[in-house]
Amino acid sequence: MTKVKELANKYKDYTIALRRDFHMYPEASMKEYKTSGKILKELNKMNIECEKVADTGVIATIKGKGDGKTIALRADIDALEVKEENNVSYKSRNEGLMHACGHDGHTASLLTAAKILNDIKDEFSGSVKLIFQPGEEVALGAKKMITNGALEDVDGIFGIHIWNDLEAGKVSVEKGPRMASAGKFSINVEGKGGHGSMPHQGVDAVLVGSAIVMNLQSVVSREISPLDPSVLSVGIFNSGSRFNVMAGSAYLEGTTRCFNMEVNDRFEDIIKRIVNKTCETYKAKAKVKYEQLVIPTINDDFMSEIGENAVKKLKGLDAVSTYEKTTGGEDFSFYTVNTPSAFAFVGSKNEKKVDYYPHHHSKFDIDEEALLISSGLYAQFAIDFLNK
């Protein structure tokens, strides 16, 4: 048994208690004041150098026995606007808010990893930077933490996501694309209203909007290589006020997803071209807004190798799993732009112990045995990176 695994087992009760405490008191994105306060309190108990940054984020540093590289470990700390429906002792006590995506487990695991690394800091050279990040769910936190120096002097970064679609005891940290980009577009169509019985007198915004929806469906099928998985979906289409009134305006909103930065960078121009040309065809006008929420999360080959070896040390070869990339997005991706990185999925599904519900569901819960792996993996990855 490795020293890290031994300590992760030793601190099991601490990790679970922490996770349940965070679960009971969830806070919305960029408003994690009590959560960050609790994190600072725990770090101060360990005598670990720490500070609050970006209003509700925390950065801490553990220094080893001598100079060396710096590895960053990141956990997100925010919750979701979801009303919890679980009947458990640690059910959310903040009405309308819930840790429905596992961030409570991430936070508890990184604090436990801090405890482990602090215990054995004489066994590695270099530094471990702990990043407790707010606002992942709104894709604002990573950028804000980076602006506030989270990546200064960092040679690599590692993150995890407790994952309810992967069996407990399994970890996926393979190289290449892991999570998709997420773009958001909105379209305001300006037509000309009129009487529904005399459509020739106006410009029907419902017709124009419908044509835009249909024409946008050709983007993935005809403009992007079938070897580059991509998604373009329209989720909102609002127009009209009455059965015999021709609508003079329409509003559409949707999302894009992909795993390739070249494709990602083309979406905005393609959408604007199709919308404007479609409107021109029907004598309408449109305003298009495109936001890049997150970019693709792509694991570095070398960092993935470190991650897989860390999993083997903690749980053996059978724990290393392959898991298909997901079209969900993660703002961890912004840390990876200029920094070698890896992002791991830590399995938490165990239907013999916990009913299965997907992430963001009001009954989402995890097998807490996953916390031993996630806390140990944070620590083992850091040690292996620094000693590599």
Give the residue numbers annotated as catalytic, written as ranges.
78, 136
Residue type, 343: F
Which residue blocks in 127-198 are alpha helix, DSSP H?
Answer: 141-147
* Count of CB atoms situated within 10 Å of the CB of 22: 26
Q: How many CA atoms lie within 13 A of 234 on its CB side?
A: 20
**Enclosing H/E stretch for 246:** strand 245-246
Cα angle for residues 139, 109, 43 (degrees, 5° grid): 95
Tokens of 239: 């127009």
- Among 383, 338, 388, 386, which residue's Cα sits nearest to residue 4? 383
* Measured distance CA(42)–CA(40) in Å, rounded: 5
**Shortest CA distance to 31 belongs to which of 9, 57, 50, 8?**
57
Distance CA 84, CA 95 (A): 8
Residue carrying structure tokens 């020293």? 3
CB 11 within 8 A of CB 116: yes
Distance between CA atoms of residues 305 and 265, nearest Å: 29
Angle at 100 between CA 96 and CA 101, to 5 degrees: 145
Helix (H, G, I), strand (E, B), or coil: what is residue 138? coil
Tokens of 243: 């059965």
CA distances from 89 to 13, 21, 24 (A): 16, 10, 9
> CA 11, CA 259: separation in Å to the nearest integer?
37
143's tokens:
């950028």
Angle subtended at Cα 370 by Cα 164 and Cα 336, rounded to the nearest 5 degrees: 75
